[in-house]
Amino acid sequence: MYTDTEGIILRQTKTVNGRRMVLLFSKKYGKISAGTGISEKGRSKAALAMRPFAYGRYEIFKSRQNFNINGAEVLKSYYKIGEDVDKYMNSSYILELTEKLIAEEQQNTKMFDLLLDFFDAMENRKKKYMTLVLAYETKALGILGYMPELSVCIICGKKNRPALLDIKEGGIVCRDCANNIDDHNSHTLIYDIDFGIVDILKYFSANSLKNLENLALEGDKPEKIKKILGEYISYHLEIDKMKSEKFLTDN
Ligand SMILES: [Zn+2]
């Protein structure tokens, strides 16, 4: 069956005879592995659509077990991301994370649109890229149904002032209940949240990535939130540390 779909190239590897295997986040089918004879070299429209951070339209032949990309044209090339090493590193991390977050052959247009929003915002952003990365992670948790409970205490259910974030239990613990947890510092995956993380995550959830254009988290907040969100994601979505993660910087 011949079909076409918008898509974003997540990753590609060379195989034999000049062919490639492409991991495509397609709008129609979700994450698919597809073979192709189209090279990313050269200046043809098809070649440009095969490069990293390209958003394109892909002509696909779908057989029972395989996908093959027969043609491609670029809809938008976020080449500026590739021209800045920090943008490139942060965006590569988001591609790798997205690859792990989305399921094989399951359409997820909300995640697809979020990834395009991320590219748009990253291309225009001048600094403080980690703020954008953290916002993406938070919004992805929301889309995938894993957002931590941030409004009421997960123990008593009241809207008391939060004191801790319990990663395993998936939400905030109020001050009263925190006092009843003996020595919470000795528990793993429970964090003090007196530095405003709850309000920041709520703000990320409530705003589009475009609206966060002028938001830049200051001081050690990005690093602290990165650690907590990272542990939250790896605990609930069973994702291990990623190769690209160690290159992240908050420039
Ligand atoms: Zn409570």
Residue 103 and residue 45 share a domain: no
Residue 201 and residue 247 share a domain: yes
Whole-number Å distance, alpha carbon 153 to ligand 1 midpoint, is: 5
The residue segments making up the domain with residue 61 are: 1-77
Whole-number Å distance, alpha carbon 157 to ligand 1 midpoint, is: 6
Decide if pLDDT at 160 tops 70: yes
| Tens-place pLDDT, residues 120-151 | 999 999 989 999 999 999 999 999 999 999 99
How is 23-68 classified by DSSP, letter by letter?
A: EEEETTTEEEEEEE---S-SSSHHHHTTSTTEEEEEEEEE-SS-EE
Residues 144 and 236: beta-carbon distance below 8 Å:
no
Which pLDDT value is given to residue 183?
66
Whole-number Å distance, alpha carbon 90 to ligand 1 midpoint, is: 36
Whole-number Å distance, alpha carbon 175 to ligand 1 midpoint, is: 7
Q: How many residues appear in the chain?
A: 251
| Tens-place pLDDT, residues 27-36 | 999 999 999 9
Residue 72 and residue 9 share a domain: yes
Whole-number Å distance, alpha carbon 156 to ligand 1 midpoint, is: 4
Sequence-distant (6+) residues with CB within 8 A of 63 are 1
Instruction: Sort 118 into a burial class: Cβ within 10 Å, 0-12 / 13-18 / 19+.
Output: buried
| Tens-place pLDDT, residues 60-114 | 999 988 999 999 999 998 988 999 999 999 999 999 999 999 999 999 999 999 9
Q: Taking residues 207-221, what's their average pLDDT?
A: 94
Residue 72 and residue 25 share a domain: yes
Q: Please identify, among 47, 77, 107, the residue that sits at the C-terminal boundary of a domain.
A: 77
Whole-number Å distance, alpha carbon 223 to ligand 1 midpoint, is: 27
Q: What is Dmax (Cα atoms) for the chain?
A: 66
Residue 89 and residue 60 share a domain: no
Whole-number Å distance, alpha carbon 192 to ligand 1 midpoint, is: 14
Collect residues with CB below 5 Å from ion ligand 1: 153, 155-156, 174, 177
| Tens-place pLDDT, residues 220-237 | 999 999 999 999 999 999
Question: Cα(172)–Cα(167) distance, rounded to whole angstroms?
Answer: 9
Which pLDDT value is given to residue 186?
67
Q: How many domains does the chain have?
A: 2
Residue 133 and residue 112 share a domain: yes
Q: Please identify, among 77, 94, 117, the residue that sits at the C-terminal boundary of a domain.
A: 77
